[in-house]
Structure 1
C-alpha cells in the first residue's frame, strides 16, 4: 500500500481518519478531498506510479457530488482502467438502501459502517491487501 484517498465532506472525519491511518502506518500517503467531483479530478491527474490511491474510502452523503454520483462518473470515465489498482470502500451510516446499492455496484469492494476505527481499518487492509 502506498496511498489512500479519503472522499468525505466532513473535514473532522477526514482529519481523524488520516490521523489514525498514519498511526497504523506512517509510510502511507493520505490524501483527502471533500466530494466526488474533487475525487474525479484527483484521479484524472493521478500518476499510476505515485499518486493513484490503492484504497479509496468513499462517503455516500456529500454535497456537490455524492458517493453514488461519483461511482457513476467513475465507472463512465475510467471503466475498468483502475479495477485492479484501486479498492473502493463505501463508508456510511448503516442504511439498507445504501448497503444494497454498495454491494451490487461493480466498483465497490466493500461497505463499512461509520465511524471507521483502527480495528475496522486493519481488517480492511488485511482483507484486501494481505490475504492469500
Structure 2
C-alpha cells in the first residue's frame, strides 16, 4: 500500500478540524493537511488542486454541513471528477450520529471506503491509516 501523503478535512466544525489536524500530525508530521467548511468548497478544492499535492489522499467528509452536505458532495463527486483522479482518494465519512441505517447507506456508496463516528481519536486515526494506507 502507498503511504498517505495528503488529507482533506471537510467539516464546518473548526474544533473538529483542529483536533483532527492534531491527531494526524502526531502520527505523521509529513502529511499535508487542508481543510474546508463544506462540500461545495471541497469540490472546488478537488477541481483545482494545489500543484504540490501528492497522492494518495484521505478525504474525511462530515455528513452534516451547511451549503453542501456530505451526501450532496458525494453526488457531485460521482459525476464531476475523473475516475483516475478518484482512484487516488479514500473517502471516510465522519458523523456524530452513527446507526445501522447510516452505516448501511454510507458504505453502499462506491466512493466511500469507511465510516467513523465523531469525535475521532489518535487510536481511530491509526486504525484508519493502517487499514487504508
TM-score by length of 2: 0.90
The answer to whether the 8 A contact 1:7-1:56 is kept is yes
In the alignment, structure 1 residue 121 sits paired with structure 2 residue 125: yes
Residue 68 of structure 2 is matched in structure 1 by 65
* 1:2 and 2:5 matched: yes
SS in 1 for 2:65: coil
Partner SS state of residue 119, structure 1 = helix
Contact 1:4 1:29 in 2 (8 A): yes
Q: What runs of 5+ residues in structure 2 fail to find an aligned partner? A: none
3-state SS of 2:83 partner: coil
RCO higher in 1 or 2 (8 Å CA, sep ≥ 6)? 2
Which residues of 2 match residues 53-92 of structure 1 at below 5 A?
54-92=57-95
Give the Å deviation of 1:51.
5.6
Q: Is 1:97–2:85 an aligned residue pair?
A: no
Matches within 5 A, 1:38-53: 38-47=41-50, 50=53
RMSD of aligned C-alpha atoms?
1.6
Unaligned runs of 5+ in 1: none
What TM-score comes out, normalization by structure 1 length? 0.90
